[in-house]
Amino acid sequence: MEVEGARKNEAVISFGPEDLKEVNLSHNDALVIQARVVNYDILRVFVDSGSSANVVFKDAFMQMDSQGYHLEAVETALFGFAGHVVYPEWEIVLPLTLGSPDLKKTVMTFFTVVDSPSSYNTILGRQAMNELKAVASTYNQKIKFPVGARVRDVRGDQPSSRKCYVEAVRADQSETRREGKKLRVDEVRGRVLEKGEQELTWISPLISEHQLNILPGSHPVKQKKRHFGPENDKVIDEQVKDMLKAGHIREIQFPTWLSNVVLVPKSTGKWRMCVDFRELNKACPKNHYCNVPKI
C-alpha cells in the first residue's frame, strides 16, 4: 500500500518473527525503553501511545542540566485515564534521541514537567511518536522508526517494565490505604457518643458496603403490617426518627422486600427495635459457620 503524501524513499516499518527472538513470552508488559534527553541517558522511559503529551517527571528533570532551554508555565491541566487531574509545573522543548551513535534519530519535542510520584522517569506520548515517525509494538517489545532509508529499532526492557509495574501497584495500594484513612475522618461523620446517640451517622460505600445474596428463583415477600399498640408504636416511631436522622435508613416509595419491626425487651427495661427478616433469611444461602440466631 502507498500512503498519500508519504515519501517514496522512506523505509517500510514492519514486525516479524525475528523481532521476538529476545522477548520473554508470554507477557503483558508495557514498553519501557532507554532514551537520551538533552545529554542524559534516561532509563525507565514509558512508551505510551495513549498519552497525548510527553511527560518528564520533576524528580528526573531536576537532575538534568536544562540551561539554555526555555521553561514556560503551563495553565492547562492533564487528565488521566481514570479522570484524575494533574497540574503540570512547566513545559519545555528538549532534544530527544533514540538509537545508537551509528544509527540514531534526534527530534526537538515538547515535554511537560509534572511534579507527581511515578515509577517512570519519562513518558513518550503521541507527540514524540509522530515526530519520530515511530511505530511501537508492546507484543514485540520494540519501537521502530525510520532513519533515512533505513529502520532503527529500540528494544524494550522487560525486567524494568515489570519492576515499574510492581512499584506502581504498591504505590496505588498505599494511596488507597491513605485515602481510606482520610475517608474515615472526612466522610464518616462520627463523634464522641453521648447517652442515647447513634454510634455512626453515615458510612461511605467506599469503606463498607453490604449486599444480599438471594437464591435464584426467590420471590420478594411483603409482610402484612403489624400493630403493636399506642405505647410500642411511640417507641418504634422515635427509634425510626433517630435512624433516619443518623442516615442509617432512608425512605423508599416502592419496596420489593417489606419486613415488620420487632420490639425486644432489654435488660435495662427499655426496648430494642429489630427487624423480622425470617422471610428474607429463607431466600438467602445458609451460613453454616455462623451460630447467631436469626429473628
Summarised one tens digit per residue, pLDDT across range 59-86 is: 888 888 878 888 888 777 777 655 567 7
**Superfamily covering domain 17-169:** Acid Proteases (2.40.70.10)
Residue 282 has pLDDT above 70, yes or no: yes
Average pLDDT over residues 10-30: 88
Residue 10 has pLDDT above 70, yes or no: yes
CB atoms within 10 A of CB 77: 9
Cis peptide bond upstream of 204, omega within 30: no
Q: What pLDDT shows up at residue 39?
A: 85
Q: What is the pLDDT of residue 134?
A: 93
pLDDT for position 89: 82
For 43, phi then psi, to 5°, come to: -90, 170
Q: Is the pLDDT of residue 180 over 60?
A: no
182-198 per-position pLDDT tens digit: 444 333 333 344 444 45
Domain residue ranges of the chain, discontinuous segments joined by +? 17-169, 210-295
Confidence (pLDDT) at 201? 52
* Contacts of 184 by beta carbon, 8 Å cutoff, 6+ apart: 207
pTM, full prediction: 0.54
Q: Is the pLDDT of residue 274 over 70?
A: yes
**What percentage of the chain exceeds 70 in pLDDT?**
78
CATH topology for the 210-295 domain: HIV Type 1 Reverse Transcriptase; Chain A, domain 1 (3.10.10)
88-132 pLDDT, tens per residue?
888 899 999 999 888 899 999 999 998 888 889 999 999 999 999
DSSP per-residue codes, 171-188: HHHHHHHHHHHHHHHHTS
Minimum mean pLDDT among 8-17, 154-163, 169-178, 234-243: which range?
169-178
Tell whether the model's pLDDT for residue 181 goes beyond 60. no
The pair phi, psi for residue 157, each rounded to 5°, is: -105, 95
Which of 18-32, 68-82, 168-182, 279-293 is least confident? 168-182
Question: Do 148 and 197 form a contact (C-beta atoms < 8 A)?
Answer: no
